[in-house]
Every structure is written in structure tokens, then in C-alpha cells.
Chains A and B, each alone.
Chain A
Amino acid sequence: MTCTEFLALLDDLIDDAVAPEARTELQIHLKGCEHCEVTLNTTRKTIEIYRSHQIYDLPAGLRERLHAAIMARCKKGC
């Protein structure tokens, strides 16, 4: 397996969607290729960081404004 072929399956590997027959080939490539190992680990870490440090907090008061707007709309007819 070449690095390009490995890269084409990177998403499936991250999403745990690799077919069993391809999995062995991927593991063999990973053992012998430091670059692909780094790419896989740091891509996983990228996702993990964005998932655990969510950006764009909800502004204060927005929920209350939305609630008021829905109630106002509701009074008009619901």
C-alpha cells in the first residue's frame, strides 16, 4: 500500500468504517510509515480538540430574546 492509498482510506479509518480485509493492509502500512502514522494521529487529535473545545459560545441574553420572540409570535396565533 502506498501513502496515497493510505490517505484515501484515512477518513474510513478515523470513522472506524474500514472493511476488515483493508484493515490489515492499513496496519501493515502504518507500522512501516512514520509520516502516515503522524498524519493519522494528528488528524485524530485535530478532531478531538475541536470537539472538546467548542468555539462560538451562545451570547448572553440570546435565548431569552428568542423565547420572547416565540411567545410574541404565539400570541398572534397558535
Chain B
Amino acid sequence: MATIQPIAGELEPHPDVALVEQVRAGDVSAYDTLVRKYERQIFRIAQHITQNREDAEDVMQDAFLKAYEKLDQFQGNSKFYTWLVRIAVNESLMRLRKRRTGKMVSIDEDVETEEGSVPRDLADWAPDPEQNYTQTELATILEKTIKGLPPGFRVVFELRDVQGLSTEDTAEALGLSVPAVKSRLLRARLQLRERLSRYFRRKKGVEK
């Protein structure tokens, strides 16, 4: 039987496109596949913005439900995940506004901060410094450290560096410009580095 070979170099459609089409055709199990693929990432984004576990759980649930209901509005000119992140970010911000009784919370508010823009702690780190801590201690350090950053920085770092999105997709998901994403990413990286140095710097007199 003749098969159609993909032409070399032709752009393959993203696997999510087929899943979205299946859901639109009434196959709910295809939506389950999308949920399983992205639930962890969406939960983490919600945690980074709301800083509250219960809120993040609600946001994750609401974001996936809303995306399911609005699937017909998904145009396909952006990636499904980028579109989903945008919904989750909006849900997270709405939840924060409710908690703070209507006080405006925004992700695109730029934070004027000099912190970390010039590295101050220039001590080198111990080799594999994370191994000096238990998993629980390390998780506490990492959470505490990233919580000290402004929400816009946390989400940009999470999307770009932890989840590996491109600068352009991060900008689209957050409704920010590309230069804004770049500037936040640099400051987020440097501030995290500076703060982690307290824990990971090579101790004087302790040479391995």
C-alpha cells in the first residue's frame, strides 16, 4: 500500500493540534491526555503567582475547565500550551485580586530593582553544592529563594528556564513584550544566583 512520506524539512504539526481536534470531535479522553501532559506545569505557574497551595489547586482546575469550554475559540495560530498558560495566569491573577479585596495585581508591572543587577556575592560555589542538603532542605531553600522575587520574575524564570519555553512563547503567554521578558529573565537569574550563594558558596577552610 502506498504511504505518504513526509517531505524532508516540512514542518510537522505540533502533536497537541491532533489532540485538540480529537477533543473537538467529542473524544474526552484526548483532553485527559492534554491534562496529564501539562497539569504539573500549570500547577507550578499557579503556585508561583498565588503563593498559596489551595488557590493553586483551584486555579489549575478552573484553568483546565475553562480551556475545555473555550476550546472552540482556540485558533491554532498559537500553541495550545501557550494559550493554556495565558488562561492559567489570568485565573491566578483573578484569585489574587479576590484575596486582596480588589487590589490590582498585575504580571506586567515592571519592578524597579537594582538587586542582582550587579553581582555582589562573587564567591565560587562548592562543587555540587546541592548535595550538602537533604531533598527536603533543598526544596525549602529553592522555594524560599524564588518566593523573594517579584511574581513577574518568578513566572518568566519558570516558563523560560524550568519549562524551557522560547522567549517568544513566554512573551505571548504572559502578554509581555520580548524585551520585557528578556530583561526580567536576566534579573531573575541574577537575583536567584545571588540569593542561593548564601547557601551554596564554598565554605572557607573546607576544601573538598
Contact = CB atoms under 8 A, between A and B. Distances in A.
Nearest to B166: A15
A15 to B, nearest CB: 8
A39 B122 contact: yes
B68 interface: yes
A36 B40 CA distance: 35
Given A58-B40, A70-B35, A42 B65 contact: no
B64 A11 contact: no
Interface in B72-130: 118-119, 122-125, 129-130
A54 B162 contact: yes
Interface class of chain A by DSSP: helix
B192 A46 contact: yes
Contacts of B69: 73
Interface class of chain B by DSSP: helix
Contact of B189 (A43, A53, A71): A43
B186 A11 contact: yes
Given A38-B124, A69-B61, A73-B68, A56 B196 contact: no
Interface size for chain A: under 10, 10 to 19, 20 to 34, or 35 or more residues? 20 to 34
A62 interface: yes
B31 interface: yes
A63 B8 CA distance: 39
Interface in B32-60: 32, 35-36, 39-40, 43-44, 47-48, 53, 56-57, 60
Contacts of A14: 189
A10 interface: yes
A41 B65 CA distance: 42
Interface residues of B, number: 48
Contact of B60 (A11, A43, A66, A73): A66
Given A39-B119, A55-B143, A66 B185 contact: no
A66 to B, nearest CB: 5
B64 A56 contact: no
A66 B35 contact: yes
Interface string A27-47: 000000011001101110111
Interface of A: 7, 10-11, 14, 34-35, 38-39, 41-43, 45-47, 49-51, 53-56, 58-59, 62-63, 65-67, 69-71, 73-74, 78
23 contacts: A10-B186, A10-B189, A10-B190, A11-B182, A35-B119, A35-B122, A39-B190, A41-B125, A42-B125, A42-B196, A43-B190, A43-B193, A45-B200, A50-B162, A53-B139, A53-B142, A56-B48, A63-B39, A67-B32, A69-B65, A70-B35, A70-B65, A71-B28
The 6 closest A-B pairs by CB, nearest first: A56-B47, A46-B193, A39-B119, A35-B122, A43-B193, A56-B44
